[in-house]
Structure 1
Amino acid sequence: MENTLLKKLAENVKRQRGQAVRTAEKKAWLHSLSEFVRVLDDAGLGAVEVLVEFPMPHCKLSSADVVLAGVHPVTRADAYVVVELKQWGSATAVDADADLFEVPGLPPKSHPAEQVLKYRNQIANNFGALDGHPEAVKAVVYLHNATHTTVGDLLLGAAVEGVPLFTSSERGGLIEYLRRNLADEPGHLSADRLLQSPIRPNQHFLRKAADVIRGVGQFDLLDQQLDAYNLVNARTRLASQANTKRVVIIVGGPGSGKSAIALSLVREHIRQNNRVAYATGSRTVTKTLRQHVARKDAQFEGFFRYFMEFANSKHNGLDLLIADEAHRVRKNSSDRFRAEWRSNDPQIKSIINAAHVPVFLLDEHQVVKPDEVGTVAAIIAQAQALDVAYDVIRLDGQWRCGGSAVYDQWVLDLLGLGPSDGEWNGGIDPEKWPGDPNFDVVLANSPEDMEEFLRAKLSDGLSARMTAGFCWPWSDPNPDKTLIPDVILGTWARPWNAKTTRDRIGSAPSSHYWATADGGFEQIGCVYTAQGLEFDWVGVIIGPDLVARAGKFVPRREYSRDKDLIPARVTYEQFGRHVRNVYKVLLTRGLRGVVIYAADPETREFLAALINA
């Protein structure tokens, strides 16, 4: 019976996550779920509905171990208990602040009460069935292999979080807790109301970030995100106290929560009056953050900087330096106008020099130019050369693209990109789009159809932009400040986003604000203006620089207009890797859906067989 249940659970979780379940997780189910079922039986709650591996509303790769659904014994209203099950036998706080815990056989872990509280908040704040009734959701931790003595540090932390934690020593207390919150009555109707309720749309990152940086909101960081956040806080505290250094590398795909971690860290260290800065290698991203997050408030604007600014900075002048979009780190810092922003030192070395704890957040599948050298291997090599210890954390979550891990993997396979960062694999066969209720993939028959579809989304109050591979010329504006329609497909033609970085060109915003300002929809954006940003809907024109032949995508450099990719010094292999990464970036900018149009007829047929099948 157990084997049948585990097999069925593994199949459902694989369908939900888009990836196979690891053997270790199956073993955890076998031991933890078996014990918890016995607890429910002893509590006399056999009729309560048990939802196992309950997915978070905007990230299907994150899931609560168990959500119990039933009826409250006093109020008779729907009641839910989120349960975090751990097999830990012991846990010891890393330091007196108890943000992180050493668990035998595992990297430093966050407090399980903090983790389950985030799950509880995600469920209470996003499911329509709980509107006005967030108190209907409780959270609890059960460490069935531990005793009161072996996890004493955790018990102190749990009291602060307000989430009860029970070990095998307090098994009776867990039974009483469950009885106080759930009646011994069928819970299937309560479960149905939760599962069938509408889910609130994910709040746009920039709007949320503006609240977070001011301390009036927070990102609910989950799983590895929470571990990364607490690890950086612990490393910063210890390094500052001991006047030492520690490099932290956080790796994750688009939408995995890197920027949410980064801004949460900035807010926390502002609160602590620490010396902190947030830097990127993108003028578009930095200027967008200054405008939409700092909102021209001098108190916050100075926190958002460029990698180049640290070319000659004071050694350990900061406690914490967040290097977001670190895949865009250059070989060295160079600026035409400011000598203090120029250095022959590797830019990675300059960033490490600037703070007690430099944090590099990157996605190697977003390296799109030959002079971008931000890779895990390069950062580790520089840390080792400087004799600085380092940590590497990999994020598996997916908060963009409707939280669809299925879509993220489908794009990797489509473009022949390997599962690990920086890899590509021509042996991967593209798969048919299996569909996902949380994310729409639409194939347009023409650019006119794509534009009409996206314009309708704009009329519905959603954000949308059109993007393309860099396969058309990018002309200067006309004398009357109108833009030239360079992107030509048959009778349809549209201009690229404006070249200027300062002022509007007629109704067109400057290039830095194409993604967010009014009027941006009327121009076509490229990878350099879209990278690091997101929209409800994105349109992607796949140009003739990447076409489908014999069932796979083939790069064609002769059709590229990207001055960084066409010089002879860029090898064919380098061009192929970068152009695949370009389209990976563009295809993963959408929160709700993507509309794809291919300029090449054979490529359109290839995509139709995958998407419309």
Structure 2
Amino acid sequence: MLVYEGIKKEFLNSVEMDTIAEEIENTILEKMGRHTGKSEFDSWMNSMEYMYKVLNDKMIPENAGIAIEYNIPQTAKRVDFMISGYDEKNKPGMVIIELKQWQKLEKVDDTALVSTFTGHANRNVVHPSYQAWSYAQLISDYNTNVQDESIKLKPCSYLHNYVRRDNDPIDDEQYNIYTSVAPAFTRGQVFDLREFIKKTVKYGDNKEILYLIDHGKIKPSKSLQNAIASMIKGNPEFIMIDEQRVVYEEVIQLSEQCQKDRKKRTIICEGGPGTGKSVIAIQLLSELTQRDQFVQYVSKNSAPRQVYASKLKGTIKKSSVDNMFKGSGAFTEVGNNVINTLLVDEAHRLNEKSGMFSNLGENQIKEIIHSALCSVFFIDESQRVTMKDIGSVGEIKKWAKKENSEVYEMKLLSQFRCNGSNGYLAWIDDVLQIRETANFNLEGLDYDIRILDEPQEVLNLVIEKNKVNNKSRLLAGYCWQWPSKHRKDTTYHDIQIGDFGISWNLDNGQAFAISENSVHEAGCIHTTQGLEFDYVGVIIGDDMRYENGKIITDFTKRASTDQSIKGLKKLYKENKEEALKRADEIIKNTYRTLMTRGMKGCYVYCTDENLRDYMKKKINK
């Protein structure tokens, strides 16, 4: 959807009349029903003045098409600025410009990320050239008119407030793969940006190309279909077994039926740790894309998206596949039934509100069901680990009914993690007193579970196991502070237990589960849930202890930096019993989840000596 569209002459006139920001604001309200915040309005005022300077060149045709805030169909992504026309050979083309107000940034090693001040804090965000490239690639991969008419898309970024310096981080060698196809222009480079535009737009098109792009049907390109198919083929990470294949085939059948009769369907697939939910989701992503559907893999946490995209791509850094992975808050502005199928992994982690400040949308479950003809929720209610987690079978059914969507339920029962042992999972439930089970001991189970007396012993075992294939990690309960100023310093030991010290996993943009160096750091629930390893070490902190024959949970021992229990203190004042019940569920589910990340073994250290002794006895019974 084009928010603002016109030709260059009209755009220059609107800027000269100081009306351009109001025109954009009014159009967004009219077309999208959304009010514009002051900061966004001010950014238009600022950026459009700079784009006026850039386009104020007689060699850029007066009738070149201009689009501002182009909403890429079936997504919540908006392109800041587009200029369309024909090149010197009369080939259609469009320049895509990502505008930034930034004044400085720092590189984030070995990633496509940079660190800059945005949203009232320093944050890791994608390099502007990567962002511009990814938008161009998204349009190219899914817009049939771009494919059929061979419209050339040329992305770039323009940081008009940014003063470039020698050896500037924006130009670091690690970003060459993106800046080579989407150059970054900065303050003082108006003439350079003009020349870049003129290579693609020599003759005007009177908005014809903008019209083609805005009215192109959405369908994955053959190149994208072939790319993801080749990534899946022969990849042992995504091989399906037994009932996984049954669920996979049933979902395909229902999803394809949705596309034929245009009826909305919601599929709920329940399964415990290691039953293969993520494997099925990735296989469905590939297969349905090859069937001409616009499909996306969705998760609340970024860790699963980052890891599974990396496993698909292998050593490939720049791939269209990245656009197939979305956060659960990406659907607040997507229309009804405009996406073919959404595959929601870790659906128990869905939140009510979206956005950086939890101020966008109404309900993520509702918005996902609303956006897609077919929505598939992979869920394990026993893995809800924060106060904000609202994902439940009942909640999904409620919103499906309100959206007039048929509901289908499926279950995955066979355990493929923990050496295929449902008995180990039942033993954990018994030990943590989540529920009574018949598995009060580990007799006959082929799983390496040990309770150790020192945290260093746990780390040593993990490091040794990790030498085989980089698939072992140390995890910990969130009982130690995670200060932002030390998130890039591995020598600072956030977790200190006697003489033992280790840092939380670094905030460097690399996925903890696959980074080569993260074995020397500790991961938490937020960086490991939804993922699996061969072996895990787990440090159980002071939020869980054993006394008088009972497992006691204590949310006051959680670190204040832990957002999982935000709101619990307030609830405790209002309803003590309910607060303690919620806290008990969150803490036990957290450790249950951490202790089931290992496929072959789990090594545990408890800060509470009584809990260590109790767990040792439960192993040796």
Superposition TM-score, scaled by structure 1 size:
0.59
The corresponding residue for 2:565 is 565
1:315 to 329, 336, 343: 336
Quote the residue 1:434 is aligned against: 443
Q: Tell me, yes or no, if structure 1 residue 228 matches structure 2 residue 247.
A: yes
Separation in 2, partners of 1:225, 1:481: 41
Within the alignment, does 1:513 sit opposite 2:511 as a pair? yes
Q: What displacement does 1:387 show?
A: 2.1
Distance 2:427 2:393 in 1: 24
Q: Give how far 1:246 is off.
A: 0.5
Equivalent position to 2:268, from 249, 252, 273: 249
**Deviations along 1:44-81, whole A, 9 cap, x unmatched?**
xxxxxxxxxxxxxxxxxxxxxxxxxxxxxxxxxxxxxx
**Matched ranges for 1:453-602 at <5 A:** 453-461=461-469, 463-477=471-485, 481-498=489-506, 500=507, 503=508, 510=509, 512-561=510-559, 562-565=562-565, 567-570=568-571, 571-602=579-610
Equivalent-residue separation in structure 2 for 1:325 and 1:283 (angstroms): 11
Q: Which one-letter code corresponds to 1:559 in the other structure?
A: K
Matched, 1:360 2:377: yes
Secondary structure of the structure 2 residue equivalent to 1:470: coil
1:557 and 1:359 map into 2 onto residues whose CA distance is 33
Q: 1:545 to 1:532 in 2, by over 3 A?
A: same
The answer on whether the counterparts of 2:385 and 2:564 sit within 8 Å (CA) in structure 1 is no
Query: Percent of counterpart pairs with the same letter?
Result: 28
Q: Distance in 2 between matches of 1:259 and 1:485?
A: 33
- Aligned mates of 1:478, 1:309 — CA distance in 2: 30
The CA deviation string for residues 354-383 of structure 1, in whole angstroms up to 9 with x for no partner, is 111100011111111111101001000111
User: Aligned pair 1:300/2:321, yes or no?
Assistant: yes
CA distance in 1, matches of 2:518, 2:481: 19
Q: Is the 8 A contact 2:546 2:614 kept in 1?
A: yes
CA change 1:347–1:540 in 2 (3 A) is same
Q: Write the distance in 2 (CA, Å) between the matches of 1:215 and 1:428.
A: 40
1:431 offset after TM fit, Å? 1.6
Distance in 2 between residues matched to 1:346 and 1:474, nearest whole Å: 29
The Cα of 1:222 is off from its aligned counterpart by 4.0
Contact 1:475–1:484 (CA<8 Å) still a contact in 2? no
How is 1:268-283 mapped onto 2 (pairs within 5 angstroms)? Answer: 268-283=287-302
Distance across 2 between alignment mates of 1:409 and 1:304 = 33
Rate the CA distance shift 1:212–1:525 in 2: closer, same or farther, 3 A.
farther
Q: Is residue 606 of structure 1 aligned with residue 604 of structure 2?
A: no
Shift of 1:451: 1.6
Q: What is the SS of the residue equivalent to 1:539?
A: strand
1:135 corresponds in structure 2 to none
Residue 289 of structure 1: CA displacement?
A: 2.5
**Counterparts of 1:76-95 in structure 2 under 5 Å?**
none
Mapped to 1, the partners of 2:487 and 2:481 lie a distance apart of: 18
The letter of the residue matching 1:413 is: D
Whether 1:379 aligns to 2:393 is no
Q: Does 1:411 align with 2:428?
A: yes
Equivalent-residue separation in structure 1 for 2:555 and 2:614 (angstroms): 20
Distance 1:527 1:521 in 2: 15
Q: Which deviations, in whole Å up to 9, do the C-alpha atoms of 1:156-186 show, x marking residues without a partner?
A: xxxxxxxxxxxxxxxxxxxxxxxxxxxxxxx
Q: CA deviation at 1:565?
A: 1.4
Mapped partners of 1:535, 1:454: distance in 2: 11
C-alpha distance in 2 between matches for 1:227 and 1:428: 28
SS state at 1:445 partner: coil
| Deviations 1:191-216 (CA, angstroms, capped at 9, x unpaired) | xxxxxxxxxxxxxxxxxx98874444
CA distance change for structure 1 residues 305 and 609 in 2, over 3 Å: closer, same or farther?
same
Instruction: Give the superposition deviation at 1:452.
Output: 1.7
Q: 1 CA distance for matches of 2:245 and 2:487? A: 52
Matches of 1:320 and 1:333, distance apart in 2: 20
Q: What SS does the corresponding residue of 1:578 show, helix, strand or coil?
A: helix
- Mapped contact 2:265–2:406 kept (Cα < 8 A): yes
2:330 is paired with a residue of what secondary structure?
A: helix
Match of 2:217 in 1: none
1:270-296 CA-partner distances (Å, limit 9, x unpaired): 221211111111112222223332343
Distance 1:490 1:578 in 2: 27
Report the CA distance between 1:434 and its aligned residue: 2.1
Provide the rounded CA distance (Å) in 1 between the counterparts of 2:271 and 2:520.
32
Report how many residues are paired.
Answer: 382
Q: CA RMSD in A?
A: 2.4
**TM-score in terms of structure 2 length:** 0.58
Equivalent pair of 1:545/1:560 in contact (CA under 8 Å):
yes
Report whether the alignment pairs 1:401 with 2:418. yes
In the TM superposition, what are the counterparts of 1:255-266 in structure 2 within 5 Å? 255-266=274-285
Is the Cα–Cα contact under 8 Å of residues 535 and 589 in structure 1 kept in the other structure?
yes
In 2, the alpha carbon distance for the partners of 1:452 and 1:307 equals 37
Residues 478, 363 of structure 1: CA spacing in aligned structure 2 closer, same or farther, 3 A cutoff? Answer: closer
- What is the 5 A alignment of 1:41-190? none
Q: Relative to 1, partners in 2 of residues 1:469 and 1:237: Cα closer, same or farther, differing over 3 Å?
A: same
CA distance in 2, matches of 1:217, 1:242: 34
CA pair 256-612 structure 1, distance change in 2 beyond 3 A: same
1:416–1:429 contact (8 Å) kept in structure 2: no
SS in 1 for 2:263: coil
Q: Which amino acid aligns with 2:527?
A: T
Give the conservation status (yes or no) of the 8 Å contact 1:213–1:266: no
Distance 2:229 2:256 in 1: 25
Q: Is the 8 A contact 1:213 1:263 kept in 2?
A: no
- Residues in 2 aligned to 1:224 and 1:386: alpha-carbon distance in whole angstroms: 29
